[in-house]
Amino acid sequence: MPMMQSDNRLALCRRLLFAGVIIAGIALCCLYFFKGPESGLYPRCMFKMLTGLSCPGCGSQRAVHAMMEGDFKAAFGFNALFMLEIPLLGLLGISRLLGNRTPRLQRLLSARFFILFILTTIIIWTIVRNIFDV
Amino acid sequence: MKYWIIIDSVQKGPLSIEEVAAENGLNPSTPVWHEGLSDWTTAAAVPEIAALLGTANINDTFTDRQQNFGGQNPYGGYQNQQQPFGQNHYGQQYGQQYGAYNNGYNPNGFGPNGVPPMPDNYLIWAILATICCCIPTGIVAIIYAAKVSPAYYRGDYIAAMDASSKAQLWVIISFVAGLIWAPFSVLLGLM
């Protein structure tokens, strides 16, 4: 079945974007290690500044910094969902790299119920953390 | 050879030529694809399927075609009167053209059974976008990501591609929004 759009340029863009993200990630890691989020140098959450509520990702910068210092317990305290999503994102990444070699894994990870489950988790987490202040 | 057709926005296939013949609502502009074609074409352009259609319909299509040539070709009117010959000529031309495609040339690298790989659902990026950038647009991206695989496994590859590109679009919107916001928030934080 033919693709409905030309893919060569898209593939190139994707590769460049991927390389850019990795380089930026490494640079950020170095910066993070030496200057933590407490220094006020980093972007803040739009959602929190506008509404005063915590978004599902609030605390993930502090969690990353805590992880870099090896303090996983503190990292969980800053954003538990983020810590749980890291292995999930890793699994998704591996499944994508393997492509069709793991059809059942791919099928599970792309299933509608699975994705909607993740979405529900994120929404429930947002509500829970704002009520119980975690 | 197997054919895929779209009738009333519903994609059907793989169909044998007999099954295509049994389809109601087939007309010269019905989108058709078969293995070896680089893109969708119309029923009128596939000689085997064009042969199934009523002659009157085919004549309409070929008249249209010839009218397109009309501006350049002073004999356009003459050709219209010679439809049996014109038909034959076009049939042969397309036959040869697609024959060439079928000789082992597979432009998009699909598998041997002609099934395309599943389009990316950008789930990783959609989750990152929701958590880190912008909640509402990230959620839209996740919802489109959830539509890719059901459409794909149902055989509706066009809907899968469509959901995939919409998921990608909303991921890009989320990240752009986040990137635009980032410098402002740093400034506000330093103040």
Q: Per-residue pLDDT tens for A44-63?
A: 888 888 888 888 888 888 88
pLDDT at B132: 77
> How sure is the predictor about B147, in pLDDT bands with cuts at 50, 70 and 90?
very high
For residues B14 and B61, membership in a common domain is answered with yes
Coil vs helix vs strand at B4: strand
Contacts of B153 in chain A (CB under 8 A): 107
- H helix or E strand, kind and range, residue B132: none
Q: Tell me which amino acid residue A37 is.
A: P
Q: Could you tell me the residue range of the domain that residue B57 belongs to?
A: 3-102
55-114 in chain A: CB under 8 A from chain B = 55-57, 60, 81-82, 85, 88-89, 92-93, 96, 99-100, 106-107, 109-112
Asked whether the predicted pLDDT for residue B156 surpasses 60, the reply is yes
User: Both B98 and B128 in a single domain?
Assistant: no
Same domain (yes/no): B9, B87: yes
User: CA angle at residue B20 from B16 to B26, to 5 degrees?
Assistant: 160
Residues B65-70 have a mean pLDDT of 45
Structure confidence by residue, pLDDT tens digits, B43-63: 878 878 877 776 444 444 444
d(CA B59, CA B55): 6
Q: What is the mean pLDDT of residues A98-117?
A: 87
Mean pLDDT within B64-68:
46
Residue B75 and residue B9 in one domain: yes
pLDDT computed for residue A7 by the predictor: 67
Question: Token pair for residue B32?
Answer: 């058709």
Residue B110 lies in a domain: no
Mean pLDDT value of segment A91-106 = 85
pLDDT band at B98 (very low <50, low <70, confident <90, very high): very low
